[in-house]
Structure 1
Amino acid sequence: MIDIPNIAFEGEEHIKDFDVLTISDLSAKIDKGLDHDPKKPHRIHFFALLVITEGEGYHEIDLQRYQIKVGSVLKIAKGQVHAFQQKIGYKGFLVIFTEDFILRFFSKPSIEFISHLYNYHISDPLVQSSGLNDSFVHQLREELRVEYSYGQQNILAKILELYLLKLERISGAKRISNQDRDYYPLFLQFKNLVEKDFATTRNVKDYASKMRISTKHLGKLVHIFTLNTPKHFIDQYVVLEVKRAILSTNKSLKEIAYDMGFDEVTNFTKFFKKHTEVTPKRFKADL
């Protein structure tokens, strides 16, 4: 096993934050050799849509295998670990874009509405049988054929923005009411803090303090979007990071425990077993 590589966005020179690849193009790039193997777990620092137009297969995201077929759309969020299957037997497109692209070109109401589309803590990444895909891909490819066109990034963003809004409607994901919408920026702040500081602290009070809100208020807003407590959210994220590390690194359990903020392996083992009902050693052995 090797450490999980962190993959930054690399697009065309004139469109630095957006790109569309066919699966055939991706396979060709893999055959020529990349600085990482997309068929092995790797963490992306951008967003991706895997759109399937022919055939079927599977894709792995954070230790889960998702079956994909014609009409499937798989949403891969910034920060997630994913991998393509060893022998790709389907056709389609990989649409990739950065957070900066969304923030610069999407309207604020759209960002508020679809931002939880990529919150993998509370949404399913797979949307089946979308009738939107053919038109979406066709519009993107037509626009990309016009090199250095005036307003091209704005146009691409609007095509993507409309598609994501319609995809959100099809997916039947949890809606944010007007009242709850006011809490959502705070929830995202909490989520981002957990992802950044989970190895430093798992104490709810610490996160509430950083956000300058009470623990009661934090508990309320986290419950709105996850139906669970902040402590449960934090612990489940730590468990996910532990599983990622065990699956895709060559580090010892002692090293992983230290990386995750545990001073003692025994405490690390107790924590993991409490939340998974198996020890880290058993989890690793069963892989």
Structure 2
Amino acid sequence: MNNFPNISFKITEGSKSTGFDFIRVAEIFERIKKDPNHNPHQPHRISFFALLLVTEGEGEHQVDLKNYKIKKGSVLKIAKGQVNAFKDHTTYDGYLVIFTEDFVLKYFSKSSIEFISHLYNYHISDPLVENSSLNNFFLERITEEINSKNTYAQNEIVAKILELFLLKLERETYNSPLKTFNKKHQTLFIDFKNLVEENYTKTRNVKDYAESLNISTKHLNTIVRAITLNTAKHFIDNYVILEIKRVIFSSTISLKEVSYQNGFDEVTNFTKFFKKHTGLSPKEFKSTL
């Protein structure tokens, strides 16, 4: 389950943002010719967030090994870490909006992130929105801003257009029923997620969380893997990285204080942990902001 190729964020030539891109679906398939090592028709795990907006035609797209029928007016939400694939013989067109976690953390308000459930709670929400009334307005505004010759605060404006679209999309689909896993697994997963959020500074040990839930580590891993296609340890570590990034983005405290605040007794261990999961040391990451 973990052998899917990992696709990192790459901006298109001429893009003015380092964490946001806006690509015509037809252009994606043109990229295959330039990068034969990545076939988007094969399942692959993305390291960014994506929205597939269909403007005409119909087809299918696979998310976490499940096929979704899409057509004009559809929005397919694909979160960081999810596995997806473009299906063959598609007859639709539209846009793929992609943006990084760093872009979200830097430009979105924290309250908005908590409302936009699919960003970090995609495991328990349906990725497909059908017949969205918001697509045309969003596409018009985002295209207008991207093509604007006045680039003052452009990243901030693009982010707010996207943030507003996601919030309105969330409201439009708020009452949609969940179509995912059995209720017992959903409940245990949500309990696990809540425990991680409450206790990640105290423990990153899967066994501790399993004991708190009165289940075995094997059973916990089975539940988490069924819902996220990854292990419980992977989920915990990803959450810790997210919280570390949030602190670095939103405060001016030293990296030493960041490490202690996130449950690390030694700065050396904090640095090794962060670099292992991001490819950058905390200092290098902070210098990119």
Which category of TM-score, normalised to the shorter sequence, fits these structures?
0.5 to 0.7
Deviation at 1:239, TM superposition (A): 3.9
Answering whether residue 138 of structure 2 is matched by residue 136 of structure 1, we say yes
1:8 aligns with: 8
1:128-175 residue CA offsets vs partner (Å, 9 max, x unmatched): 100100110111111111257010000000000000000001112589
Match of 2:164 among 138, 144, 162: 162
Structure 1 residues 241 and 110 mapped into 2: Cα distance closer, same or farther (>3 Å)? closer
- Relative to structure 1, the CA distance from residue 45 to residue 243 in structure 2 (aligned partners, 3 Å threshold; closer, same or farther) is closer
Distance 1:145 1:122, change over 3 A: same
Counterparts of 1:149 and 1:40, CA distance in 2: 37
Distance apart, 1:115 and its partner CA: 3.9
Asked if structure 1 preserves the Cα contact closer than 8 Å seen for 2:49 and 2:119, the reply is no
Distance in 2 (alpha carbons) for counterparts of 1:69 and 1:105: 31
Provide the rounded CA distance (Å) in 2 between the counterparts of 1:60 and 1:39: 9
- The residue type equivalent to 1:26 in the other structure is I
Q: C-alpha distance in 2, partners of 1:159/1:188? A: 33
SS in 1 for 2:22: strand
Give the conservation status (yes or no) of the 8 Å contact 1:190–1:207: no
Consecutive unaligned residues of structure 2, counting only runs of 5 or more, are: 178-189, 232-289
Q: Which amino acid aligns with 2:174?
A: G
Output the amino acid matched with 1:104.
K
Is the aligned partner of 1:20 residue 2:22?
yes
Classify 1:206/1:233 alpha carbon distance in 2 versus 1 (closer, same or farther; 3 Å).
closer
Matched, 1:187 2:199: no
Q: 2:59–2:70: 8 Å Cα contact kept in structure 1?
A: yes
Matched residue SS, 2:51: strand
Hey, what does 2:224 align to over in structure 1? 237
Q: Report the residue type matching 1:10 in the other structure.
A: K
Q: 1:207 to 1:156 in 2, by over 3 A?
A: farther
Q: What is the CA-CA distance between 1:241 and the residue it aligns to?
A: 6.9
Aligned to 2:64: 62
Partner of residue 121, structure 2: 119
Out of 100, 103, 121, the position equivalent to 1:98 is 100
The structure-2 alpha-carbon separation of the partners of 1:202 and 1:169, relative to structure 1 and needing over 3 Å to count, comes to same
Report the RMSD for the aligned CA atoms in angstroms: 3.6
Does 2:87 match 1:85? yes
Among 61, 74, 77, the alignment partner of 1:75 is 77
Length, aligned pairs only: 212
In structure 1, C-alpha distance between the alignment counterparts of 2:195 and 2:22, rounded to whole Å: 27
Larger RCO (CA under 8 A, 6+ residues apart): 1
In the alignment, structure 1 segments of 5+ residues that lack a partner are 176-182, 209-214, 220-228, 245-287
Describe the SS at the equivalent of 1:60: strand
Alignment-mate amino acid for residue 81 of structure 1: V
Question: How far did residue 14 of structure 1 move?
Answer: 3.3
Kindly report which structure 2 residues correspond to 1:257-272, keeping only aligned pairs within 5 A, or say none: none
Shift of 1:19: 0.3
| Contact persistence 1:123–1:173 (CA under 8 A) | no
